[in-house]
Amino acid sequence: MKRNKLIKYFIIICCLLLFNNFGLAKNAVLINQEAYKKLCGIWTRNKKFNSESLFSWGNSKILINGSLEIDLGHETPYLQSASWGSFEIIKAFKENDFFAIVIRFFDKKEYELKISLIDNDTILFHETEFVKMDPFLNNPHYKKNLFYKISGPIIKYYRPKTSNLRLRSEPSLKGNVIRLLNKDEKLLLIKKEQEETIDGVKGTWIKVLSEKDEMGWCFDGFLEAL
């Protein structure tokens, strides 16, 4: 009996530790580095722009009612079309020869969009259930759903200077530790936060996306740029 109680308490303690220290940061979406690098940005059917807005990577030029926005670095990653508005992105990843984005519609139903990369600045939307519904994406005036990138994040990578660097859930020493990073891990920069000094080292907290699809924060005073 006593042994069963000890086992029960041990399981509870382990669950608490996992929940507090090794959970993903705020939104547990699945976004990988390749999808962020290729899809994140402002896309339009022509290359003119006449407005500016703030995205996770900074100010970007957009077309009013004529652009498709994919912000994978936002606290809640989203896709916004000119006709329907904004949708939460659940997943964004590469699958075989195309990229896939899974969005949540207003009725909570999930739709998958399939996207081919024509070149670094051109994407093609394949015909899917959601594309058929969206008058902006499924425009009869266009033979192909081609979109051109007019703005996007600067792609920059870092790696830890030493092993066991903490990847945290928020830009603070009080942030929960998601896990300890290895020295050779490649971290994709998402955005920068406030500057401070830690252990005599001056630096900036940066939001990164790991090769294991974890979104978290590191202090760049302990990182080196690649």
Spatial CA neighbour of 42 closest among 54, 65, 60: 60
Q: Is residue 175 part of a domain?
A: yes
- Report pLDDT for 14: 47
For residue 21, the model assigns a pLDDT of 40
Split at pLDDT 50, 70, 90, the class of 180 is very high
Same domain, 174 and 196: yes
- Is the pLDDT at 78 greater than 90? The verdict is yes
**Residue 65 structural domain:** 30-151
Q: Which of 151, 176, 192 is the last residue of a domain?
A: 151
The domain boundary, picked from 90, 124, 151, lies at 151
Residue 157 to residue 210: CA distance in whole angstroms: 10
Report whether 125 contacts 114 (CB < 8 A). yes
Q: What is the pLDDT, as a whole number, of residue 136?
A: 84
- Give the chain's mean pLDDT: 84
- Check whether residue 146 and residue 161 sit in a common domain: no
Reported confidence tier of residue 9, pLDDT bands at 50, 70, 90: very low
CATH number at residue 94: 2.40.128
Q: Strand (E) positions, 130-182? A: 146-151, 157-160, 165-168, 177-181
Residues 18-72 pLDDT 10s: 444 444 444 456 899 999 999 999 998 876 666 788 888 888 877 766 789 999 9
How many domains would you assign to the chain?
2
Residues 41, 79 share a domain:
yes
113 shares a domain with 168: no
**23 domain residue, yes or no:** no
C-alpha distances in Å from residue 23, one per residue of 6, 26, 28, 176, 181: 25, 9, 8, 8, 15
| pLDDT computed for residue 48 by the predictor | 66
Residue 13 pLDDT level (bands cut at 50, 70, 90) = very low
Residue-wise pLDDT tens digits, 186-195: 999 999 887 8
Among residues 98, 129, 151, the one where a domain terminates is 151
Please tell me the distance from the alpha carbon of residue 157 to that of residue 13, in angstroms, as a whole number.
Answer: 36
